[in-house]
Structure 1
Amino acid sequence: MFTWKTTSFIKKNKGKEVEMRTKLKIDRIILRKMKMPLKDPFETSFGAIKDRTFMIVEIHGEGEVGYAEVVTESAPLYNEECVGTAWHVMEEFLIPLMFKNQQYIQHPDEISAIFKQIKRHYLAKSGLESAYWDLHAKLGNKSLSSILSGQKESIEVGVSIGIQTSISELLVKIDSYLTEGYRRIKLKIKPGWDYDVLREVRNHFPHIPLMADANSAYTLQDINLLKKLDEFNLLMVEQPLSHDDIIDHSILQKELNTPICLDESIHQVDDVRKALDLGSCQIINIKIGRVGGLTEAKKIHDYCLSRNIPVWCGGMLEAGLGRAHNIALASMQNFNIPGDTSPSSRYWEEDILEEPIQFSQPGMINVPKGPGIGVNVNLEKLNKYTTLLKTYDSSEF
């Protein structure tokens, strides 16, 4: 039923081959539903999360395994996807597409073309594509960072702080994170937890790099309040208006001195083009899951670089595998703002890696140089937090 042909096997640069594209055989794909308890509840304008429910993808082929996270939630609050919908779409559509078309896949970039006929479902697509990227890099004995043309040996790290029970509690947390070396503070805001909170934070910490993330909690009726945030010399205010909007953001940006950063509104490079042409934002947050995978993330990075628009890597409360993918992405040239890719200990008492991701020096994380994402899975811990597992064998398709 589904077929896709590709004829692009080798990229050339001035007559020299820069990357061979060779086929690999996928033997099986494993989906895991995971449930891991957070160290502390994390609250945004969507609500509070105590346990993280998400998925892990394993792609087995040529004696190696590629891993990735599907950064869904148990409910469709961040976007229209959740674990249930992602599992269904992957099982019924995306996995069959990968198996039936794998003879045409020479490089991970071609997976997004194969998946294109399935509309949206970006988180589900990203999980499979990202696992293939990891497998592809491992089989080539290259780091994921290097095949993404990453240039950095380490990345700067910021921290995202959820809504607290009191301002005094928030101030204590900020002080603690600054002591640990975090290089940028992001505060979640919502109506009723915004101006007064930011005022107190700025009074106590007048010089720290500070930003506010609204997660679509406001409308243009709040424009006077949002204009008042200019007082606080913020790096940016992230996605203040609707999750699918770029029109009203263009109106708002004209009224603000503070740069607007778009997150939920951006799914593909064409969304970026439209937003920039309209003047809807000055900064773009790139999340691998939200844009459907590393291929589109690369395109957005390159396009923003061509237009001198800074980008940064957002987080989705990932466990170690997702963090490793984010680190590789954030090693690319135009990621000039500290991202949300904090050490594993920020969210987890224990991670699912052999060696948890941690600072190499205060506020910095080294980019792994080993094959693929450069981290090793702890199978005992992976199984410990797995609540559902299913294997899809290539012979079935």
Structure 2
Amino acid sequence: MKIERIELHLVNMPLVKPFETSFGREDREVHIIVKIYADGLIGYGESPVGQTPGYAYETGETAWHIQSEFLAPAIINREISDIEDFLKMTAPVRGHHFAKHGFECALWHLFSLQQNKPLYQLLGGTQKIIRSGVSVGIQKSIAELLGVIGDFLDEGYKRIKIKIKPGWDFEPVKAIREKFGDVPLMADANSAYSLQDISLFRELDPFSLMMIEQPLHYQDLTQHAQLQKQIKTPVCLDESIAGVAMAEAAIALKSCKIINIKPARVGGLTKAKQIHDLCQNNRIPVWCGGMLEMGIGRACNIALSTLPNFTLPGDVSSSKKYFHRDIINPEILFENGELTVPEEPGLGFIPDDAVIAKFTENRWVLSG
């Protein structure tokens, strides 16, 4: 197919409730929606960049620059027969995974529409029902945390993940276990600790957490390996797994027992699938994390989660958890913590241009 037109939309949407992690507190998401036109079809993608370079070095400004100055010019008026063509054309751009993911997701959408198949089938997915957990940010008090968790459990979510940071770790976990018993529970540190905190991690062992996610430095593998040797709780890596090579190294070093795969973090669905396959071959379970995506990015995560080694509930929850109105129709809705994967061609959900336009604060167009 020949790429005829590319649009970037900087979409600014308020969250239903502020979301706090060890990086800080967010009350809105500002993501880039990518539209690529080819052969009478439109493919949609999403770059779920942060507003600050906390989780990753990319922000809306950096991704916009890379997409408009480098990625779009590299493919406009070019024939692209498969995703590998796109990867070769944009290979001179190192890094900038969130920026690339938005473009690649749009191209996957185009190919699924062109072939009249749902995206998950193009990826090789086999699971027809996706189980979802839910991510709970840092709350003002333990009582408030327990109330939020209780509401999500009543909605049927299959796993609870809480964000932790120094001073908000042992006591919240203890309170959750006392209140809700053996509910599947994990803790996400977002690199907030060091090996000097080994005593804390040992204190958490008796609570039988599913995993502790990214406890140490975001670029580290060796210290995570040391930590995993000294605690019973499985270590899960997130930020440290920036690509396939890092996943290979983590497995070789035994830095973790579980890997969180986020397609935006690793540069797209293709790289995400490669990491999935690597982990499957090495019997490392994976799950799909989230970046508070709007509906387009969330739909891509759903498609990815149908691959067979996604055996743990992911963070792909209902639209209403984060947004008053999502940018797709129908909105994503998990019932009792489960979603039947859509069989319609494409994303399985239809992007709503009117809602995208309503929340767009900047727009850029490149035509052939």
> Structure 1-normalised TM-score?
0.91
Check if 1:73 corresponds to 2:73: no
Question: Which residue of the other structure, out of 175, 191, 197, is the alignment partner of 1:222?
Answer: 197
Q: Where in structure 2 are the equivalents of 1:1-397 lying within 5 Å?
A: 24-99=1-76, 102-103=78-79, 105-359=80-334, 361-394=335-368
Q: CA deviation at 1:106?
A: 1.8
Deviations 1:239-263 (A, max 9, x none): 0001111111111111110111100
AA partner of residue 45 (structure 2): A
Q: CA deviation at 1:354?
A: 2.3
Q: CA deviation at 1:329?
A: 0.3
Give the conservation status (yes or no) of the 8 Å contact 2:116–2:345.
Answer: yes
SS at match of 2:44: strand
Give the conservation status (yes or no) of the 8 Å contact 1:112–1:295.
Answer: no
AA partner of residue 23 (structure 2): F
Ranges in structure 1 where 5+ consecutive residues have no aligned partner: 1-23
Structure 1 range deviating more: 221-230 or 31-40: 221-230
SS at match of 2:28: strand
Identity %: 47
Deviations 1:319-338 (A, max 9, x none): 11111000000011000000
CA distance in 2, matches of 1:114, 1:286: 24
Q: CA deviation at 1:197?
A: 0.9
Q: CA deviation at 1:93?
A: 1.1
Give the conservation status (yes or no) of the 8 Å contact 1:310–1:334.
Answer: yes
SS at match of 1:289: helix
Give the conservation status (yes or no) of the 8 Å contact 2:9–2:364.
Answer: yes
CA distance in 2, matches of 1:276, 1:308: 10
AA partner of residue 350 (structure 1): R
CA distance in 2, matches of 1:64, 1:227: 54
SS at match of 1:88: helix
Give the conservation status (yes or no) of the 8 Å contact 1:151–1:332.
Answer: yes
SS at match of 2:100: helix
CA distance in 1, matches of 2:103, 2:346: 15
AA partner of residue 147 (structure 2): V
CA distance in 2, matches of 1:115, 1:106: 15
SS at match of 1:372: coil
Q: CA deviation at 1:110?
A: 3.3
CA distance in 2, matches of 1:35, 1:355: 20
Ranges in structure 2 where 5+ consecutive residues have no aligned partner: none
Deviations 1:95-118 (A, max 9, x none): 111226x33x32113322332221
Give the conservation status (yes or no) of the 8 Å contact 2:109–2:346.
Answer: yes
Give the conservation status (yes or no) of the 8 Å contact 2:6–2:76.
Answer: no
**CA root-mean-square deviation:** 1.0
SS at match of 1:290: helix
AA partner of residue 65 (structure 1): I
Q: CA deviation at 1:204?
A: 1.0
SS at match of 2:329: coil
Deviations 1:343-391 (A, max 9, x none): 10110111111211102x3110121111111111222111110000111
> Structure 2-normalised TM-score?
0.98
Give the conservation status (yes or no) of the 8 Å contact 2:2–2:39.
Answer: yes
Give the conservation status (yes or no) of the 8 Å contact 1:66–1:132.
Answer: yes
AA partner of residue 306 (structure 1): N
Matched length: 368
Deviations 1:70-93 (A, max 9, x none): 010121111100000000011111
AA partner of residue 21 (structure 2): T
Give the conservation status (yes or no) of the 8 Å contact 1:321–1:353.
Answer: yes
